[in-house]
Structure 1
């Protein structure tokens, strides 16, 4: 029998196996110079075949890559067809509520990628941080941890798993960065996410007192609203104004904000707008009432400064168009904006005989520059067009404040633009009486803690009398003021310097009152100024 052909076949098989075994080594030699030498040394000294290890690692890597590809494919399919999500932008009041709630979830678990921010919440600080002399030592705020940008995180609510992504992208115009939180869940509808947002909103209401968000117009290539602060809502009873006036304003705004009122306006072809003018001396509570009304009705406050030199008419129109359906638009000190009609010329008084004085042109130029420096770039006609023009925004509450109503143009305060004028006056004796009582009356929290705040020690300097004695002191305090001379802000500022000792406020009153009266009589702004 001829075995030569069988030997040749065996030789060919051995050659093929050797080539296959040398294939990884050949490839590695191309990638890693000197690999064959290293492999031989490792085999002779350690008895390890590096080629087998590399082949096994390549097999594991290939399986992992294939599994990751299949996982991403299936995950993408479910995200596309079986996932619902809701976005919350940073210009909405719900954004901070969601962040605060998520930060509490982060504190309950260990996450690998977080963003640290300083927590300035005064409710979490200890009032008892003081030295031996009783001097309060300001407690350094502790950090709070939030979800980082561009990362995914998961949380559970009512047994369901949610994913949240925090991102920061430019707006459509590319002028400023907009921060977004997007919450996902595996569901064919967004109802589970809506339930989470409802839960967060209720959590916020139960956790803190009512807050008022304040927005101001900023510029970053284009004008946009930016939330500047979120302050506790001011109680309406803390505003020094005649009670009947406050009741009339609240009743009027309450009727205006009802959905049925908007339908009533539309049925009769009347624009659904409401404007108010608060006028009176400085420090009488015009701005305070605006914020108190925002707290009463749960509205956000949008402040616009017409003195801004860079604010154009198109910017003003854009800002008003971006207002929410229900809010308070506050135009403070409308008289200081120097609004004039576009056709008003600048008149220069000429001397008799028709010949101008050689320095008159210089004086006229100086007067013109003075006028330009005291006014913004918004004309009266532009403001009127924004307030009640053909394309003006409806549904908001417009409040304008001024110290000198006589300087306002009649067209600005005509009915339809200003529907209710509220006069603020210097403090009456009844208002002074209420300010004194409000300053020294204890809150329910202070009464239950025995005159303490939170966990602090009793205040040794606090001398708050009982309600009957306090009533008598308030009456005596108010009787020592002349009527319609002092503003509520002046009264409050005086009492704040003695906020823990009403008897001292009575003892020091005569000297302080006389000094203020002398300064007012002499036209001095500083007390004791010569």
Structure 2
């Protein structure tokens, strides 16, 4: 009996069954040219049926694609109906706070996309006591970077038992000259944004604790928006060389203005809720220092504007004042150097009374338009308009500083725009005495920790007795004439001898004579001290 045909049939059945479990060869040939040849060679040499492998890979790929599609579909539905989010733009203080807080958090899973940022402040504070070499030379090395969420990446983290997700993105902003505008968006599962609000309050409290006694300083950038330039330690008010009674009056006046009831009192009487101050006096007398000290006292941010900036336009100035927070200090430094033309004193009928309406203020601004000169891109009328025009911002404290108040236009400093003028004078005997005592007296922190500045090149002064120091301060003040040197000049001299009060007392006569001789000859430089 011939079994050859039976064996052939059995082989054909096996081949049929094999092809039934694999992808059709024709389809694979279309997708992978030369598949048939490759399959036969692999089968003869290795005994491997590539069709089985390709079929398995296709099944895995199909399952993965189906799972991903289903996952994205479900996630999209949840995000649309059961996810809340809050977006924070980079022109908001909270943007930097959130980034700094996130840098110290453990993410739910390690992120593969981060942005490295050099944080000089935090690293220097942590390592400032251990940065000197064997010779006592202080060397500040490059700090360790901190890591923030990168662009286009999603980072999940947990806080108080809840899972949050933060996404960072950027886009071009025409209002910023095509500069990038960044934003952070925080997500959480739920139909309310309250958990995110609680998180942001927590981050704000965390930042406030970090920046205790710190003052943020903002300056304008091109395009008419504010940018935080620095965050400096608040200057103690007692370090400002000004009559104590004057300082008390200013603090009391600002404190009353910032009281919540004051805003209601102004509104009830139709008075714009604004307060203006003019600090005037010779250079180096403490005008700017007092501005920053007041910001530290009341916990306010300082927004500095220079009218000499050639890139600053009138629309930018209006935009900057519109973006001011409700409570802050606006500092216009050296307003006299802006070159605004001084006009004749206004008549008594033009003076702004406390009950003057906004329309009357606008008319007064309009009268100045034809009589002003422009300095750079800012005219006097534009400046008056942003200070107290019909749509001017309210709630802030405006401080203008000048070395020559007599050159200012009368309309700029009339009541209603400048409510209190503070005169700064050259150093009096009392101020010289106070500066000497402040320079060489140990602070409460130094007394508690025993910290001192180690100057190895000369002996450190051992004079710590308050009575001895008081007598030295009195003799020092007697050697300097009143109303001749600015507080900055006296302080600059003492800084070169900051740990040796006896040397400062011994050298003061020579320094006094050199400076007076230089001033007499009209020189700006004096001989070596």
TM-score under structure 1 normalisation? Answer: 0.85
Q: Where does residue 326 of structure 2 map in the other structure? A: 325
Q: 1:107–1:145: 8 Å Cα contact kept in structure 2?
A: no
Q: Where does residue 463 of structure 2 map in the other structure? A: 465
CA distance in 2, matches of 1:496, 1:67: 71
Verify: 1:207 aligned to 2:210, yes or no. yes
CA distance in 2, matches of 1:444, 1:44: 90
Q: 2:343–2:409: 8 Å Cα contact kept in structure 1?
A: no
Q: Secondary structure at the match of 2:400?
A: strand
Q: Where does residue 502 of structure 1 map in the other structure? A: 501
CA distance in 2, matches of 1:166, 1:241: 48
Of stretches 130-139 and 13-22 in structure 1, the one that deviates more from structure 2 is 13-22
Q: Where does residue 512 of structure 1 map in the other structure? A: 511
**Cα separation, partners in 2 of 1:461 and 1:45, compared to 1, 3 Å:** farther
Residue 401 of structure 1, CA deviation: 0.5
**Cα separation, partners in 2 of 1:270 and 1:426, compared to 1, 3 Å:** same
Verify: 1:262 aligned to 2:273, yes or no. no
Q: Where does residue 179 of structure 1 map in the other structure? A: 182
**Cα separation, partners in 2 of 1:76 and 1:458, compared to 1, 3 Å:** farther
Q: Secondary structure at the match of 1:508?
A: helix
Residue 382 of structure 1, CA deviation: 1.8
Q: Deviations over 1:259-281 (max 9, x none)?
A: 21111111111111111100000
Of stretches 230-239 and 279-288 in structure 1, the one that deviates more from structure 2 is 230-239
Written as runs of structure 1 = structure 2, the 5 A alignment for 1:247-396 is 247-340=248-341, 375-396=375-396
**Cα separation, partners in 2 of 1:174 and 1:492, compared to 1, 3 Å:** closer
**Cα separation, partners in 2 of 1:72 and 1:29, compared to 1, 3 Å:** same
**Cα separation, partners in 2 of 1:460 and 1:20, compared to 1, 3 Å:** farther
**Cα separation, partners in 2 of 1:102 and 1:24, compared to 1, 3 Å:** same
Q: 1:276–1:400: 8 Å Cα contact kept in structure 2?
A: yes
**Cα separation, partners in 2 of 1:79 and 1:108, compared to 1, 3 Å:** closer
CA distance in 1, matches of 2:459, 2:190: 61
Q: Where does residue 478 of structure 2 map in the other structure? A: 479
**Cα separation, partners in 2 of 1:101 and 1:239, compared to 1, 3 Å:** same
Q: 2:86–2:193: 8 Å Cα contact kept in structure 1?
A: yes
Please list every run of 5 or more consecutive structure 1 residues that lacks an aligned counterpart in the other structure: 1-9, 344-370
**Cα separation, partners in 2 of 1:180 and 1:458, compared to 1, 3 Å:** farther
CA distance in 2, matches of 1:18, 1:156: 52
**Cα separation, partners in 2 of 1:465 and 1:195, compared to 1, 3 Å:** farther
Residue 207 of structure 1, CA deviation: 3.1
Q: Secondary structure at the match of 1:78?
A: helix
Q: 1:440–1:464: 8 Å Cα contact kept in structure 2?
A: no
Q: Where does residue 408 of structure 1 map in the other structure? A: 408
**Cα separation, partners in 2 of 1:463 and 1:178, compared to 1, 3 Å:** same
**Cα separation, partners in 2 of 1:379 and 1:427, compared to 1, 3 Å:** same
Q: Deviations over 1:19-57 (max 9, x none)?
A: 755644322222222221111121122221111111111
**Cα separation, partners in 2 of 1:304 and 1:104, compared to 1, 3 Å:** same
Q: Where does residue 85 of structure 1 map in the other structure? A: 85
Verify: 1:217 aligned to 2:215, yes or no. no
Q: Deviations over 1:313-372 (max 9, x none)?
A: 2222222112222111111111111113799xxxxxxxxxxxxxxxxxxxxxxxxxxx99
Q: Secondary structure at the match of 2:105?
A: helix
Verify: 1:237 aligned to 2:250, yes or no. no
Q: 1:464–1:502: 8 Å Cα contact kept in structure 2?
A: no
CA distance in 2, matches of 1:99, 1:26: 56
**Cα separation, partners in 2 of 1:471 and 1:129, compared to 1, 3 Å:** same
CA distance in 2, matches of 1:434, 1:104: 44
Q: Where does residue 434 of structure 1 map in the other structure? A: 434
CA distance in 1, matches of 2:72, 2:86: 22
Q: 1:328–1:396: 8 Å Cα contact kept in structure 2?
A: yes
Residue 62 of structure 1, CA deviation: 1.0
Q: Secondary structure at the match of 1:509?
A: helix
Of stretches 314-323 and 403-412 in structure 1, the one that deviates more from structure 2 is 314-323
Residue 283 of structure 1, CA deviation: 0.5
CA distance in 2, matches of 1:451, 1:174: 47
Q: Where does residue 70 of structure 1 map in the other structure? A: 70
CA distance in 1, matches of 2:399, 2:438: 27
Q: Where does residue 346 of structure 1 map in the other structure? A: none
Q: Where does residue 368 of structure 2 map in the other structure? A: none
Of stretches 37-46 and 265-274 in structure 1, the one that deviates more from structure 2 is 37-46
Q: Deviations over 1:59-97 (max 9, x none)?
A: 111111111111111111221222222222222222222
RMSD: 2.8
Residue 464 of structure 1, CA deviation: 5.0
Written as runs of structure 1 = structure 2, the 5 A alignment for 1:514-529 is 514-528=513-527
Match of 2:136 among 126, 134, 137: 134
CA distance in 2, matches of 1:127, 1:380: 51
Of stretches 167-176 and 494-503 in structure 1, the one that deviates more from structure 2 is 167-176
Q: Where does residue 367 of structure 1 map in the other structure? A: none
Matched residues, number = 488
CA distance in 2, matches of 1:341, 1:469: 52
Residue 256 of structure 1, CA deviation: 1.0
